[in-house]
Structure 1
Amino acid sequence: MRKNVRHRFIAAGGVAALLALGAVSPALAGTGGSRTHTVAAASAAAKGDPRSTTDRVANFYGAYIDAMWDNEDAGAAADAKALRGFYLSAAARKKVADYEAREHANGILFAQNVPVKWSVAYDGSGGGHSMTLVTLTWNDGAGADTSTIKVESDLATRKIIDLAPVG
């Protein structure tokens, strides 16, 4: 019994130390509890659900763009290929490869460049499929160039089965 009390005391002390560290960390980092910093950090939060086809499309595009952006990393091309293999159906991979051979451009981004930002939005569902719109932003500032890709996913497998540029 005495050993159990001692373990509880040590655990409680550890929790108190972590809470204290969490309270002073912003001050030590020089943020001074700035409201601007807090709002910026809150808006950067991300979450997802592996059952959601929209979240899976967002996960795919986020990871794929990261791999393409880091093209100087020796493993980036392998990562991009592995992502295609995991998230796209065989038919979608073939369609992408055909586009790339014909257009000499990336068949996931429908471009030769890599975007600086992306966003994903649900666009309806029916017949066992879900539609998602992916908006790619190509530069920063006012009047930034964007393009949109319509992505179709199979609800049963959650795989991307079709993708095409909009407009």
Structure 2
Amino acid sequence: MHTRTAFKRSTLVAATALAAAMSVAALTSTTAGASTPATGTYSVAKAVATSSGDPRSAVNRVSDFYGAYIDTVWTNEDPAADDAAKALRSFYLSKAAQKKVAAFEAREHADGILFAQNVPVKWKVTYTGSGAGHATSLVTLTWSDGADAQVTKIKVQSSLQTLKITDIAPAD
């Protein structure tokens, strides 16, 4: 009796999953550009942006930092922006990295996180390797939209123990 009930339940679950998959397939073909016979018009599905992360990942921490930092300096007319940028630096960067950034800013009169005087419109973080207790990421900054957008890259090193950013340098 117990085995037969389990079989019925698994059959019901499989049938429900199959019906759901078929419904999604039908909806996808309708919204992904299939022609509507009566009107000859097309319906295109909109992409939904998603984001996820893991607070235990050094690379996610770099991504979180750059995303929040760029958001903060982008909206510099907000009275809280300067304090927020300082707090982000204090939280995500080691003391040594904070000193290195401050020295760059005093010397170059530019932002020591972005290595620029302006703010990028896009950013991307890519894991490039790890060793000796550190993870390395490559931050790609895009400075405008379009085919000829200028791109710069920054090498970021993070401690695998503390997850703090320990070094930031322009990538060659």
Q: Scaled by the length of structure 1, what TM-score is found?
A: 0.77
Q: Using the alignment, how far apart are the partners of 1:37 and 1:75 within structure 2?
A: 38
From 139, 147, 159, the equivalent of 1:134 is: 139
Query: 1:98-142 deviations in whole A, cap 9, x for unaligned?
Result: 000000000000000000000000010000000000000000000
Q: Which residue of 2 aligns with 1:86?
A: 91
Question: For residue 104 of structure 1, what is the amino acid of its counterpart?
Answer: H
From 67, 74, 77, the equivalent of 1:62 is: 67
Q: Using the alignment, how far apart are the partners of 1:74 and 1:53 within structure 2?
A: 30
Question: For residue 67 of structure 1, what is the amino acid of its counterpart?
Answer: T
Q: Using the alignment, how far apart are the partners of 2:67 and 2:137 within structure 1?
A: 14
Note the C-alpha offset of 1:65: 0.1
Q: Which residue of 1 aligns with 2:18?
A: none
- Identity among equivalent pairs (%): 62
- How many residues align? The count is 132
RMSD: 1.1
Q: Using the alignment, how far apart are the partners of 1:34 and 1:111 within structure 2?
A: 42
Q: Any stretches of 5+ residues in structure 2 without a counterpart? A: 1-29, 33-43
Q: Which residue of 2 aligns with 1:147?
A: 152
Q: Any stretches of 5+ residues in structure 1 without a counterpart? A: 1-32
Alignment of 1:43-54 (within 5 A): 44-54=49-59
Higher helix proportion (structure 1 or 2): 1
